[in-house]
Amino acid sequence: MKRAPTHSYPGLNLGRRHASADKASEVVTFGFWVFLMSDLVYFGLMFAIYITMIDAQAGGPGPHELFDLKSIFAQTLILLTSSLTVGLAMLALKYNLPRWRIVFWFFVTLVLGLSFLVLEIRDFMSMAAKGGIPQRSGFLSAFYGLVPLHGLHVTAGCIWLIVLGIQLRIFGLTDLLMSRVVRLALFWHFLDLIWIGIITIVYFGGLTYG
């Protein structure tokens, strides 16, 4: 009998093999999705402020002096790859691969997330060295309100990866932990979506209109 896989919450579903964890994930994952969507609205507000502040440079350094597209390109590739690896961790969980495979993909995702943060902080430091600090202009305040907010989310995701990786090693694949992996993967993919908004609006938009 061939049936399409059931799909009862966003992201990759655990499926019938993990029926009880799948059932346990249904409501909480939808709730988590509601949280992500309200987080999206928050990011949207920051984007709106940034767009209205693009011209408010008050004679300070603007996008052309401050933005380093090479570094942004590297960050984009890193974050994109980490979205794939977190997906591979989900697949390892769903198809009962050995537990070290899940922890391995978690580890790769963590390393990529941390490298992303290192590059981002290096960018902020070189911006600050050129006089691009938050209190310099409305444009820079809006920039530092938005981009580090995303960085903060990535940091939270990294802490979550570490904690969940340790929990998986100690407690094994309980229903609760499996359902947490589902939400972590969702969170991580969501951050990638926000980052696409950031490169398109903050960086390219800033360079075009700033």
C-alpha to C-alpha distance for 3 and 151, rounded to whole angstroms: 41
C-alpha to C-alpha distance for 177 and 182, rounded to whole angstroms: 9
* Cβ proximity to other proteins, 78 vs 164, nearer residue: 78
* Cβ proximity to other proteins, 52 vs 126, nearer residue: 52
The distance of closest approach from Cβ of residue 11 to other proteins in the complex, given in angstroms and rounded to an integer, is 6
Give the binding site for other proteins (CB under 8 A). 4-13, 17, 30, 33-34, 37-38, 40-41, 44-45, 47-49, 51-52, 55, 69, 73, 76-77, 80-81, 83-84, 87-88, 91, 94-95, 186, 189-190, 192-193, 196-197, 199-200, 204-205, 207-209
Contacts of 168 (CB under 8 A, 6+ apart): 99, 102, 103, 106, 177, 181
* Residues belonging to the chain: 210
* Cβ proximity to other proteins, 66 vs 88, nearer residue: 88
The distance of closest approach from Cβ of residue 19 to other proteins in the complex, given in angstroms and rounded to an integer, is 15
Tokens of 100: 């070290």
| Strands, E assignment, 1-126 | none
> What residue type is assigned to position 147 of the chain?
V
The distance of closest approach from Cβ of residue 45 to other proteins in the complex, given in angstroms and rounded to an integer, is 6
